[in-house]
Amino acid sequence: FMTRPRLNIEEVLADHLLREDVREVPIQRKFFVVFLWVALILVGIVLIRFLYVGAVRYSFYSMRALRNISDIIINPAPRGVIRDRFGKEFVKNDHSFNAYLLPRFLPKEPSERSKILIHLSEVLKIDFQELWKKIVIRDWQLTDRILLVNDLSQDELIELTSERIPGIKVESGFKRVQEEPFVFSHLVGYTGLVDSNDLEDNFSLVMDDEIGRAGLESFYDGDLRGLNGEDITFKDALGKIQGANIVNNPKPGNSLDTFIDKNFQTFFYKRLEQTLKDLGRNIGVGVAMNPKNGEILALVGIPGFDASNVADSLDSKYQALFNRVVGGKYNPGSTIKPLVATAALSEGIIFPDKEIFSSGSLEVPNLYNPDMPSKFLDWKAHGWVNLASALARSSNVYFYEVGGGFQDQKGLGIGRLKKWWQKFLLDKKTNIDISGETAGFLPDPDWKEKTTDQPWRLGDTYNVTIGQGDFSITPIALLNYISAIANGGVVYQPRIVKDVVNSQGETIKETKPVVLADLRKDIGNVLPYVWEGMRDAVRQPYGTARLLGNLPVAVSGKTGSAQVENNTKTNAFFVGYAPSDDPEIAILVLIENSREGSSNTVPIARDVFLWYYQNRLKGR
């Protein structure tokens, strides 16, 4: 049996002494609070992650799980077509065949895989290094295949389908087709394959889907893009096929009916293109709209691009992909003078009949050097001019004095000038229904002092009064303000799309005229004097747009030239509308780096107005 261990006296005493030194210290409450908060934070993180995975990313992870137990064939849905105001299609779909690489079906042996990839690069005319790079950088968590070519040629199709190359699959699809690849390029834009960012933003997308990247294709992508169909073949854990099930058939995208006039757009583009070619220039813009409601009739930009081969334009010297109509900022030059005239009359700065003498320049005393006055040039000496003739002749001196003042003639000053620019919303986007729009820039003394440490001077006011200096707006904003002058004072939101129609032909969305600003009470009584000046620019022998005087329809207009890049280049403008007494069309023509200023834009405007009259207005 076992005996109890004996304790000696030394052990007992040692244990007693140890207990005497021990003190019970209570744990402070703050440690429990800290522990509780840490626990709550950890639990919160887990819950948030759980909700993110189970709810926010449910579609993504459920799709990944489905792909792990099945083979899914995507049946792409055709995008909706785009039609003009008369129902003519200018963007549609053609059937195509696409080649996909499925790495899991490639041979296991590295040398055999390399042989197949090299052969593929030869058949599809793809650089081997580019092909390998595509495979390496692909996010294989998002997909199990990669699109190699999305529009196989006949020879490529025959070779791929006849050889039965492991890991290669050919499927039918659709390619986007613009009937006039360059004519409608900036209006329509282009489509491109989705990337990982697109998938994060929209869980209904899958890799190799096409989405709009610019123009109408981008702005209305949610309407144009249909819903893909899926053929799913289920497998067991060993990869054996268990059955097939069609989850859903593809649903075509909705179509767009626009206000664009297809034939007019084509004529406008080619007429502008011909002038640019004759001048040896490369960049031009043309826009036409109905000033009564904001409907866009034509929107062209040169250089255009081929939407089916955008890669060729990515490194374009002249930024072919840039939509200058809505994204370009320009000094408006003398095309801003009708607005300055409207503001000066409304503010009582000038009366219509008062005359100002233009000797060809205006000299302002130099306080710092009296022997060297500052000289502000007119483009020619005009003599005595009143408001109407100053607009018709485009006299700079008249508008220097009206805008900034001179001797006994009071001027609007930069404060009131900016107020009136803002009344016409020149510092805001027009909200036209196309992607890529930017807002104009309206300078003022505070901005200049903050950015340059220089005070705002009278010369700055003179410069912006004639549309120069740091004042810049977009072509669409410029035409929109001219349209408001033409229609009596209503600034409309420009509109390209009339309605959205589903595949059954039912209208599901319809646009209506939107008034952005109604200035009729402010300017209604002074506009007749401005109209007279813009009409005289065409009908008077001294008018800068007199070439339009022999048209069978009455036209009102304003030319403009703006010196840029240290006066080494001149951008030329024309803006105008017709018929003068009841406008149905307003147009803008812009040529960058024009040889002879606005005289290069007026002949284009003449032919554009003539075409529209003969084909759309005549006989009404």
β-sheet bridge partners, residue 383: 358
Q: Is the pLDDT of residue 17 over 50?
A: no
Residue type, 365: P
Q: Is the pLDDT of residue 401 over 80?
A: yes
Helix (H, G, I), strand (E, B) or coil at 358: strand
Q: Is the pLDDT of residue 1 over 80?
A: no
- Which of the pair, 418 or 128, is modelled with greater confidence? 418
Task: Give 243's pLDDT tier (boundaries 50, 70, 90).
Answer: low
Mean per-residue pLDDT, 449-466:
96
Residues with Cβ within 8 Å of residue 82, at least 6 apart in sequence: 89, 90, 91, 92, 188, 216, 224, 255, 256, 258
Mean per-residue pLDDT, 452-477:
96
Greatest CA span in the chain, whole angstroms? 138
Q: How far is CA 192 from CA 150, 151, 423, in A?
A: 11, 13, 39
Q: Report the phi/psi class of residue 394: left, alpha or beta, with left for phi > 0 and alpha for psi in -120 to 50.
A: left
Reported in sequence order, the residue ranges of 179-258 that DSSP labels E, i.e. its strands, are 191-193, 210-212, 229-235, 241-248, 255-258
Residues with Cβ within 8 Å of residue 112, at least 6 apart in sequence: 106
Residues with Cβ within 8 Å of residue 432, at least 6 apart in sequence: 296, 326, 476, 493, 494, 495, 496
Mean per-residue pLDDT, 328-355:
97
Mean per-residue pLDDT, 9-35:
58
pLDDT of residue 420: 98
- Judged by average pLDDT, the poorest of 5-19, 157-171, 300-314, 408-422 is 5-19
Any idea what DSSP says for residue 615? I
Q: Is the pLDDT of residue 206 over 80?
A: no
- Judged by average pLDDT, the poorest of 41-55, 120-134, 361-375, 471-485 is 41-55
Residue pair 407/553 in contact by the 8 Å Cβ criterion: no
Looking up tokens 């244990």 gives 15
Sign of CA dihedral 140, 143, 145, 151: negative
As given in the structure block, the two tokens for residue 491 are 């600034």
Mean per-residue pLDDT, 555-569:
93
Residue pair 81/87 in contact by the 8 Å Cβ criterion: no
Q: How far is CA 545 from CA 312, 539, 580, in A?
A: 39, 8, 14
pLDDT of residue 405: 96
Helix (H, G, I), strand (E, B) or coil at 261: coil
- Judged by average pLDDT, the poorest of 244-248, 448-452, 543-547, 567-571 is 244-248
Residue pair 320/313 in contact by the 8 Å Cβ criterion: yes
DSSP assignments along 458-481, one per residue: HHHHHHHHTT-TT-BB-HHHHHHH
How far apart are alpha carbons 385 and 454 in whole angstroms?
34
Q: How far is CA 20 from CA 8, 11, 13, 268, in A?
A: 19, 14, 11, 104
How far apart are alpha carbons 170 and 162 in whole angstroms?
11
Q: Which tens digit of pLDDT belongs to each residue from 264-295?
A: 999 999 999 999 999 999 999 999 999 999 99
372-379 CB contacts, 8 Å cutoff, 24+ apart:
374/459, 376/400, 376/459, 376/462, 379/561
Q: Which tens digit of pLDDT belongs to each residue from 96-116?
A: 999 988 887 888 888 888 888
Percent with pLDDT over 90 in the chain: 63
To the nearest whole number, what is the mean pLDDT of the chain? 89
DSSP assignments along 128-185, one per residue: HHHHHHHHHH--TTT-S-EEEESS--HHHHHHHHHHT-TTEEEEEEEEEEESSTTTTH
- Which of the pair, 34 or 496, is modelled with greater confidence? 496
Rg (alpha carbons) of the chain, rounded to whole number? 35
Phi first, then psi: give them for residue 401, nearest 5 degrees: -70, -40
Q: Is the pLDDT of residue 13 over 50?
A: no
Q: Which tens digit of pLDDT belongs to each residue from 367-377?
A: 777 778 889 99
